[in-house]
Amino acid sequence: MKKNLIVANWKMHLNVSSASIYINRFNKEVPVHRNIEVVIAPSFLAIQPLSLEVDHRKIKLAAQNAYFKDEGAFTGEVSFTMLRDLVKYVIIGHSERRLYFHEDLETVRDKVSACYRNGLTPILCIGETKAERIAGETKRVIHDQLITALSNLTAEEVRGIVIAYEPIWAISTFQGEVAKPQDIQRVIDFIVYQISELYGSKVAEEVRILYGGSVNPDSVSGYLALENCDGALIGGASLNYLEFAKIINKAYLIRGKE
């Protein structure tokens, strides 16, 4: 059975000391849940201190980004190689990276390859803008993002990937609308279809697909009830340890006992 994944994307919030306080408090709210993997993606600065503090049975760490070259003269960048032994996952292709830092399809593809090359697991974010949605282009956008990002991988590598479907129109920081679970189901079905067309249905069954976009303790159950939705990627609501703990405990009620 696939482990469900609940991921906190802290974005550019929580400095080293607030991250440490959060983790201490959060630890008391959440037991180790079988079948639910809790992942926290802090800022680069907080990764190293947190890696010494967290209970690794309870929390896995992720980076929010990394550069695709392993080392060299790339001022200001952090490589996947440098993250080895510190994190298990790296978020790649988040819409904020694509929009604000101009990451194109090929950059995201190279980051996914670099992630595997360094023994880490990508959480690949894909999703369409509001304008693309209104223009009926959701499937084309998802297809292009997915196919390019996976193009250098073996079927075995694709099997282990985590894909986060995050429609940009539903992300809280872009004044997100609350997405209806049935709209999300259609896109998740399409992602599964695309992967099975390319790599076979066995691989498609094993890929974990998350939903992200304004998920909170009230809405999480509706998304986790969807077929082939294996977890959630949470931004705003993960900044408060009590809210994030509530989300995890709700996820456990739905999925943990399966």
**224: contact with ligand PGA by CB under 6 A:** no
Stretch that binds ligand PGA, among 44-52, 69-77, 151-159, 235-243 (CB under 6 A): 235-243
- The pair of three-digit structure tokens given for residue 187, joined into one six-digit string: 């896109």
The full DSSP string for 184-207 is: HHHHHHHHHHHHHHHH-HHHHHHS
65 belongs to the binding site for ligand PGA (CB under 6 A): no
Residue 94 annotated as catalytic: yes
82 contacts ligand PGA (rule: CB under 6 A): no
* Contact letters for ligand PGA, residues 151-190 (x by CB under 6 A): ---------------x----xxx--x--------------
DSSP run (H or E) holding 87 = none
Min. distance of Cβ 9 from ligand PGA in angstroms? 4
For ligand PGA, which is the closer residue by CB, 165 or 199? 165
Q: Tell me if residue 166 is catalytic.
A: yes
Residue 112 sits in the site that holds ligand PGA (CB under 6 A)? no
Nearest to 237 by CA among 212, 215, 210, 211: 215
Give the span between the Cα atoms of 47 and 98, in whole angstroms: 23
Half-sphere exposure of 91 (CA within 13 A, CB side): 35
Continuous segment of H or E residues that includes residue 62: strand 59-63
Determine the residue type at 232: A
> What amino acid is encoded at 257 in this protein?
K
State in angstroms the smallest separation of the CB of 111 from ligand PGA: 16
Q: How far is the CB of 39 from ligand PGA (least distance, A)?
A: 12
Q: Do 212 and 171 meet the contact criterion of CB atoms below 8 Å apart?
A: yes
Residue ranges with strand state E in 193-249: 208-212, 231-234
Strand partners, 41: 9
For ligand PGA, the binding residue among 42, 212, 217, 222 (CB under 6 A) is 212
* Cβ neighbour number for residue 242 with a 10 Å cutoff: 11
User: Which span sits near ligand PGA by CB under 6 A: 12-20, 108-116, 140-148, 232-240?
Assistant: 232-240
Query: 132 vs 157, which CB is nearer to ligand PGA?
Result: 132
Q: Which is nearer to ligand PGA, 154 or 173 (CB)?
A: 173
CA 123 vs. chain centroid, Å, equals 4
Catalytic residue among 33, 37, 94, 128: 94
Say what the alpha-carbon torsion angle 140, 145, 147, 149 is, to the nearest 10 degrees.
Answer: 180
Query: With binding defined as CB under 6 A, does residue 126 bind ligand PGA?
Result: no
Shortest Å distance, C-beta 177 to ligand PGA? 11
Closest separation in Å from C-beta 64 to ligand PGA: 9
Q: Confirm or reject binding of residue 214 to ligand PGA (CB under 6 A).
A: yes
Return residues touching ligand PGA (CB under 6 A).
Answer: 9, 166, 171-173, 176, 212-215, 233-237
Catalytic residues: 94, 166
